[in-house]
A = this chain, B = another copy of it.
């Protein structure tokens, strides 16, 4: 075993065989063996692009889990609200945030045009049986029940009939002030550190990063304690935000997301929950929600067009 290759056999071709156990496959091996129908192409109407000088960050919205916020964010984007604004904050082990640096200055703040300035809170939404939900096998301290809803980490409370997106690495949220209705999508954040799950049910999440998170997570950190850039020249320009359906097809990012109602996904959860590769000495027997992988891949050249 190479010293450099060390402790994550992500590319291992190993498959253990034993008389009393099926062959173990790593997460990457399960993905490599997946079928075309295990993957879906996100709806371009739910796919957002954040265009930076350093590249594109791609998001998928989960409108069934924050419908008003998803609608208002599309409106802001289509009004050109974000174009020319900036990333204003990068706090280590926490979040990156972007929006209007002059939002607090009434004379300079960019107007909202067709978008609403306030929105009813959508920290949770009512559960209904038509919603996709793949329950995790393990308990969670921050929610009565946790799992994945069609590609998004969620918590659920069966008693109160609520469901909500959870704060995991790469989650996309709508910043707000102290009032519950004070977020409208004009200031957005992405989690770039250990999951701050205590924020769950306190703020509206609306989706997650599908690709390009390293363009955000490697940004220089701003000043402690909150990571706001103190000097205007530290801010990172936002060239534009776009809804993918407004971008000519040739300019779209061709990505697919693993379906999370599949046997393949269940196998991935179990492969990570109990690693049985040659490196692992003690399988965890547990998986915490934000350690559940939600695989994304470049659309294969042979895949049918949506």
Residue contact A5 to B177, C-beta cutoff 8 Å: yes
Residue contact B198 to A272, C-beta cutoff 8 Å: yes
Each complex incorporates copies of this chain amounting to 2
Q: Smallest CB-CB separation from A274: which chain B residue?
A: B198
Residue contact B139 to A141, C-beta cutoff 8 Å: yes
In the bound assembly, the distance between CA atoms of A110 and B195 in angstroms comes to: 38
Chain A contact residues: helix, strand, loop or mixed? loop
Q: Smallest CB-CB separation from A228: which chain B residue?
A: B4
A155 to chain B, nearest CB (A): 11
In this assembly, does A88 line the interface, its C-beta being within 8 Å of a C-beta of chain B? Answer: yes
In the bound assembly, the distance between CA atoms of A92 and B8 in angstroms comes to: 13
Write out, one digit per residue, whether chain A residues 228-265 have a CB within 8 A of any chain B CB (1) or not (0): 10000000000000000000000000000000000000
A268 to chain B, nearest CB (A): 13
- Size category, A interface: 35 or more
Residue contact B3 to A291, C-beta cutoff 8 Å: no
In the bound assembly, the distance between CA atoms of A228 and B10 in angstroms comes to: 12
User: What is A's interface to B at a CB cutoff of 8 Å?
Assistant: 1-8, 10-11, 28, 88-89, 91-94, 97, 99-101, 103-104, 123, 138-142, 168-170, 175-180, 182, 186-187, 189, 193-203, 213-214, 217-221, 225-226, 228, 272-273, 275, 278-284, 286-288, 290-291
